[in-house]
Amino acid sequence: MTPSSLLHLFFGAGPLLLVIFGSAWGSNTTTPLVMWHGMGDSSVGLNGIKKMVEEDVPGIYVLSLKIGDTVIQDKENSYFMDVNAQVALVCNQLSQDPKLKGGYNGMGFSQGGQFMRAVAQRCPSPPMKTLISVGGQQQGVYGLPRCPGESSIICNWIRKKLNSEAYSDFVQKHLVQAQYWHDPLNEDLYRTHSLFLADINQERGVNETYKKNLQSLDKFVMVKFLQDQIVDPVDTEWFGFLKPGQAKETQTLQESTLYTEDRLGLAEMDKAGKLVFLASDGDHLQFTREWFNAKLLPYLR
């Protein structure tokens, strides 16, 4: 038997066995998965991943979040809808979904990674069990070198706005990417005017509720893309960022005051083994099925 036919046998029989065992136990023991797509994308853009997970975890309920009534609205909202309002909308949707009552795992792609964390911090019911941030910008971005997809006109316009007036109240309210724009040369402006990221990262004071809710996660998994051409700096995908006051040198999460002062409870989580740092050797959101199955699937079973 060749290695490939062995592999085929293994992967072919796996799901079948799981189905048989699952029904023999007579209960539905898989944890549902809720996914949040990235910028310029829509719930439909995650169909491939949804299908893959459904194949590999038989019986799983996978919800790919749609922000708005149509695919077009969903995409537009990823650029222009106030993030705090988006998070509130999602919290409301999750709380009314009977299939999520027992808890769920949250997986956010790109900006969906930090939005999903906001859901964990603000909305403890139903409980999120494991949070997986796939290329999320947990400390924001300071640069938008390229946009995903073909939206170059919108992207150029957004880049201009971010560089000139990211912290104006109008832009904060109406431009999603401004809400996680993090200017290390103007930390004070960021701290006081960032409507979304500075709030969930406890830059204006410590909200104990955020800390408690985040710490009730079983695991917080962060995936960084080693050749990422879209996210700047890429350290943000592991919750690191540029050192304050300059725009060259970066620091890790562990070197930041967020961690040393433990304003968000991440240091405690780290010590408890709840933080998981994974890497994929590709550009933004580029990974193979083999990588996904080896690294992320174990958290979804």
Ligand X SMILES: *[C@@H]1O[C@H](CO)[C@@H](O)[C@H](O)[C@H]1NC(C)=O
228 assigned to active site: yes
Out of 180, 210, 220, 238, the only residue in the binding site for ligand X (CB under 6 A) is: 210
151 assigned to active site: no
Q: Active site residue: 64, 228, 256, 280, which one?
A: 228
Shortest Å, Cβ 210 to ligand X? 6
Is there binding between residue 59 and ligand X (CB under 6 A)? Answer: yes
Shortest Å, Cβ 57 to ligand X? 10
Shortest Å, Cβ 33 to ligand X? 11
Shortest Å, Cβ 53 to ligand X? 13
250: part of which helix (H) or strand (E)?
Answer: strand 250-251
Q: Active site residue: 43, 110, 133, 280, which one?
A: 110
DSSP string, 259-299: HHTTSSSHHHHHHTT-EEEEEESSSTT---HHHHHHHTGGG
Q: What is the CA radius of gyration of the chain?
A: 19
Shortest Å, Cβ 204 to ligand X? 8
- State the binding string over 94-133 for ligand X (x if CB under 6 A, else -): -----x----------------------x-----------
Is there binding between residue 286 and ligand X (CB under 6 A)? Answer: no
Residues 191, 246 contacting (CB under 8 angstroms): no
| Smaller CB separation from ligand X, 26 or 298 | 26
Is there binding between residue 215 and ligand X (CB under 6 A)? Answer: no
Out of 61, 80, 277, 291, the only residue in the binding site for ligand X (CB under 6 A) is: 61
Which is it for strands 128-134 and 250-251: parallel, antiparallel or unpaired? unpaired
284 assigned to active site: yes
- Alpha carbon distance 275, 271 (integer Å): 8
Contacts 24+ apart (CB under 8 A), 83-89: 83/115, 83/118, 83/176, 83/179, 83/180, 83/195, 83/196, 84/179, 84/195, 84/196, 84/199, 86/115, 87/115, 87/118, 87/119, 87/122, 87/123
Is there binding between residue 209 and ligand X (CB under 6 A)? Answer: yes
Active site amino acids: 110, 228, 284
